[in-house]
Copies of this chain bind each other. A is one copy, B any other.
Amino acid sequence: MTLINGKEVAEIIKGELKHKVDQFTSRGERPPHLAAVLIGKNPASLAYVNNKVKSCSQCGFRSTLIQKDPDISESDLLKLVAELNEDQDIDGFIVQLPLPHHINEQKIILAIDPNKDVDGFHPINFGKMAQGLPCYLPATPYGITLLLEHYNIETSGKHVVVVGRSNIVGTPISILLSRKGRGGDATVTLVHSRTKNINEFIRMGDIVVAAIGIPEFIKEAMIKPGAVVIDVGINRVEDSGQATGYRLTGDVDFNNVAAKCSFITPVPGGVGPMTVVSLMMNTFQAYSRKHNL
């Protein structure tokens, strides 16, 4: 069994990006520049955004954090998005979700210039992904494909069972892995809450992507011996043994499943660190495209 070390892969890719950026800046080019918009002071959102800012620094990118009060009006946020769309000094930007309830998230996402939508949330990027056209891939699915590629895990002709059909993970990864070409060409089954005999489907998977958001949902008996297990879940479960009163766990019962797998991602330290790396990759792509590099 090989433990997939997402933290390590993330460091390697960030190092490669830094190396590329250094080459451009040494020739007098400005570095890539990511802006992040954070509304309010949700601690989880703040932690995510800070992590993105820190990753920018590790990659040699410039970053700008724009913090706004939670009572910002939708129209003021739309104005800010329009300014960022126009700002030639910014290659890409994200609006950290979730947004306060009085703001229509979909309206904000649709207002982002698709060329700067480095989160890959705009429907035009999503549609291009599904149609196999060049685009910004959504962060978590992109991170998963980078992990599979790094560990030389073949997807062509493999049966991938994706558990969960969210718009940010399950649906896009199911599309990505069944696309034509390298890193795709898999036979994909997307299972979810309405699936009958879900255990039997999961047991067929050569590769199982767990993204259903239920702690330790995937048990040992549901995994085919030698399967590759990618755990996207990040669930907080109560744990009085921890100082925080909780521990993080994935959608996979790791302790009992791991020995049965050929490869498995831990939680934390598996898919998680790759998500921000995908954002860095997309930002670099935006920068390269803009500079015709």
A156-B126 in contact given A106-B133, A131-B167, A133-B106 (Cβ < 8 Å): no
- A196 & B187 in contact (Cβ 8 Å cutoff): yes
User: A187 CA to B196 CA in the complex, in Å?
Assistant: 8
Give Cα A124–Cα B185 distance, bound, in whole angstroms: 24
Check B132–A128 contact: CB distance below 8 A: no
Within 8 Å of chain B (Cβ to Cβ): is A65? no
Number of this chain's copies in the complex: 2
Give CA–CA (A188, B129) in the complex, Å.
19
Question: Is B123 in contact with A128, judged by CB distance below 8 angstroms?
Answer: yes
In the assembled complex, which residues on chain B have CB atoms less than 8 Å from the CB atom of A195?
A: 157, 187
CB < 8 Å: which of B130, B185, B187, B191 contacts A175?
B130
How far is it, in angstroms, between the C-alpha of A171 and the C-alpha of B165 when the chains are bound? 15
| B-contact bits for A246-265, CB 8 A (1 contact / 0 none) | 00000000000000000000
- Cα distance A171–B180 when bound, in Å? 11
In the complex the two chains form, is A178's CB within 8 Å of B190's CB? yes
* Nearest CB on B from A155, distance (A): 9
Q: Is B189 within 8 A of A187, CB to CB? A: yes
